[in-house]
Structure 1
Amino acid sequence: MSVSLSKVLFLWLLTIPCMEAIHGLYNFGQHDLFYKKNNCKQIPANLLLCHDIEYTEMRLPNLLGHETMNEVLQQAASWIPLVQKQCHPDTKKFLCSLFAPVCLDDLDEPIQPCRSLCESVKDGCAPVMSAFGFPWPKMLDCDRFPLDNDLCIPPASLENFVPATKEVPRVCDACKETEENDNEIVDNLCKNDFALKIKVKEISYINGDTKIVPETKSKTIYKMKGVSEHDLRKTVLWLKDGLQCICEEMNDINAAYLVMGQKMDGHLVITSLKRWQKGQREFKRISRSIRKMQC
């Protein structure tokens, strides 16, 4: 029988000693992780994905095979934007049940998400991930999770579900829509150290910032000031505090973007990001402004 997350902390007391071992996510020789002595750890404040959930201690190794807190922090950060997309009300619950599973000193078996929870979140979020060019990962294959007649974490009851009234994440300053005339576009270009047209090769999150690696062949340089050959050889762009804000402009990893920014402490920091839409009036104006730019 599936149980609510708040009750699951107590129902383990009702399990009998001969309860069948829970088959988990490890179909590649890591079953032993499920039988290691529980290593309960306080959920750290900087595990932003699982901030303010219903319990305070998590187990290591977790259900994704991460054995150190540093590994958990690094991998979990990449999923925060999906939660911010609000593609399903249980996205955070599902991800945290894997990255930071509840830990109980006297229970060796892990408490997994129910298959229905996985399927529900997948139905809502897989299309969003697909728009970013990412398929639903094999490590989250819903068939790996127990059916709802087992001890597991179920989806929220839609009958009793009350939408959260939390504050909507702010839009990143670099991603805010602006109406600029030709003079303002030239002024923006002139006050920045670089202006590039790029396609995105890779996005990751480090210390709360978004790290963007462009595809080398797709990069068009409109302006580079005070940037060394080393900077150009392997361009890495940064969106400061990218995990604390949303950037709807970057909702398609396959699109081309015009990015402008400044060199700060050796990093190329984005101050303006716009999706490049060929033929659109605004970008015809931008192209015209770039060609006649005189700073």
Structure 2
Amino acid sequence: MVYVYSLCVCVLMLSVVCRSRADEDDGPVSTPARSVCKPVPNTMHLCSGIGYREMRLPNLLGHESPREAQQQSAAWTPLLGKHCHPDARRFLCALFAPVCLPELAAPVRPCRSLCEAVRDACLPVMSAFGFPWPEMFNCSRFPDGSDLCVPGERDPVRAVTTDTPKGSVVCEVCSQEAETEIQQNFCSSQFAFRLRIGSFSPDGSDVRVVPQGRSRVLRWETGPQEQQAAMEQSALWLLEGRSCSCRALEGRLTGSYIALGDMQNGRMLLKRLVRWSREEKELKKFIRTLLRQAC
């Protein structure tokens, strides 16, 4: 009952905010010429780990600061818990934290088809509590696909993507056997971390993985220069990650990960990446097993 009450209050608050902004402008919120790119806040749980690191402000709801966008977006997190549509998060983040593409001077809006799919699936959930689809989410305001826009994950016309493109081949780094191979390759790897992942983003043909918070170092066998390079970049790299799929990076970036890798040309290259799917007690036991190895 507490969860249902929170959902009702949150949706009501956002409906009022969106309706008030809609009253100020008959169309989508216009973006001033002096728009800026800002990092997606780690506290913005709705869009944390969405697949890109920077958002364009003002966003499509007129929020002018990361703090304002984060505060307003928090009210929609409970709706995601209802799992009304697999692209609900993608749609909401396209509005609250639109991806920042340097070559464009304005935010990329969600495609109309994405809006309609999420609306049709999630509106019944909202209506059950007496709340309408917010006017600022009016799907007629968004491109029909002829212009650049953010499509749904399964949309056949993918004009732009904010996630790492998935190939039909599974990345060796993220293979199902990776957990066993972590134990086998622990001693031969230059570094090993237990970490949480904050975000990841494509960089050319590779994927840049950014840890969240402090990582626990399980193994670190590099020289001073490599250590300094690692400290400066604070990122892990999945080579050719855009041409294969990595299950460890699919869905929400929650829970603990174990990463193995080597330093190469000043970058920390991943050899194995595993998202721990079992209990924390078993993870601690697995880590003790790794540390007991005579490397």
TM-score by length of 2: 0.46
Query: Which structure has the greater CA radius of gyration?
Result: 1
